[in-house]
Amino acid sequence: MPLITANNLVRYYGDHRAVDDISFTLKTGDILGFLGPNGAGKSTTMKMLSGNLAPNEGEININGFDLLDDPKRAKALIGYLPEQPPLYKEMTVDEYLAYCAKLHRIDKNRIIEALELAKTRCGLEESGDRLIGNLSKGYQQRVGIAQAIIHSPEIIILDEPTVGLDPNQIREIRELIIELGKHHGIILCTHILPEVEAVCNRVQIINKGKLVYEADMDDLLDKHSNGFYEITLLRPPSINQLYEIADINNVESINDNTFLVHTSNVNAENIANAAVTNNWGLVKLIPHEHTLEQIFIDLTLGDDKNKEAKS
């Protein structure tokens, strides 16, 4: 049974449809990267999945429990780190985690054990007596993750967990997420694409409230690497002329002389023939390996860019 099954989620803010018919699943061992530009509906979706915001339409099942019909049992299976960690900076780490353990109704005889386990998993063994306000931002994020896992939830939802961290802190948090992913299902909501490439095995991309892509990470990169070519020309034609080449689906200008083109037959022969026949001065024609960044741009800005190119 999937840990999360979300079906046809819809959420309005007034007349604005912030989340528009989103469905997906999460299994144990998944680290799911949930991507989208600012305002796409990522945080609203996370709030619905964590039970902090009710959907206007749709249903959410948490390991067999309906989140709306049986919220207490469903929420007990979720650990949630919002974008702004819910920390009390005047408390010590131990005081705060003990408080969180009580909120999660952990038996008082098990609180110390749960606290020590959470600290160990988050690298906070030496920080229990320190005031949270005196910790670095990276260690405060660790405390935020520790409160999310102190009750040993099956699902961990992390909303922008590395925002504002320095490169060393980011690396440490990524390593922690990978370790946690061995025993939990994790949703990582972020707009930092290298973070997804570094830790996630699945990815979903949301744009304007709609789920526009979902795949295993390896499949996503493989599927989008075929048929893309980078071409450099001494005497480049207009983009409209490039679109006239047979089987060309998309053209993107990289600079005045270089273009990224996609052909549906996964063959550069038509491109090369057109360049030679029209005396465009072919300098370079090579396969283009797509990055997650380029895939993200294509899926979230592709339509607008194509309209601009053809206008």
Residue among 32, 7, 41 nearest 21 (CA): 7
**Structural tokens at position 12:** 């309005």
Give SS3 for 230: strand
**What's the pLDDT score for residue 227?**
79
Is the backbone of residue 257 left (phi > 0), alpha (psi -120 to 50) or beta? alpha
Q: What is the pLDDT of residues 202-237, one digit of tens each?
A: 999 999 999 988 888 877 666 555 678 889 999 999
C-alpha 67/C-alpha 63 separation (Å) is 10
User: What are 211's strand-pairing partners?
Assistant: 206
Q: Quick check: 303 and 256 in contact, CB under 8 A? A: no
Mean pLDDT of the chain: 88
**Do the beta carbons of residue 6 and residue 49 sit within 8 Å?**
yes
**Where exactly does CATH 3.30.70 map onto the chain?**
226-288
Which helix (H) or strand (E) segment holds residue 18: the answer is strand 16-26
pLDDT digits (tens, 9 = 90+) for 27-50: 999 999 999 888 899 989 989 998
Contacts of residue 60, defined as CB under 8 A and 6 or more positions apart, other chains included, come to: 4, 5, 6, 7, 9, 48, 49, 66, 67, 68, 74
What pLDDT does 307 receive? 44
User: According to DSSP H, which parts of the chain are helical?
Assistant: 42-49, 71-75, 93-103, 111-121, 137-149, 167-180, 193-199, 217-223, 239-243, 269-277, 292-310
Range list of H helices, 200-288: 217-223, 239-243, 269-277
pLDDT of 309? 44
247 close to 211: Cβ distance less than 8 angstroms: no
CATH superfamily, with its number, for domain 4-216: P-loop containing nucleotide triphosphate hydrolases (3.40.50.300)
* The two structure tokens encoding residue 180: 């946690």
Which residue's structure tokens are 């997420």? 177
Give CA–CA dist 298/304, Å, rounded: 9
Where exactly does CATH 3.40.50.300 map onto the chain?
A: 4-216
DSSP helix, strand, coil percent of the chain (3-state; round to 5): 35, 30, 35
pLDDT at 311: 42
Low-confidence ranges of the chain (pLDDT < 50): 305-311
> 226-288 is classed in which CATH architecture?
2-Layer Sandwich (3.30)
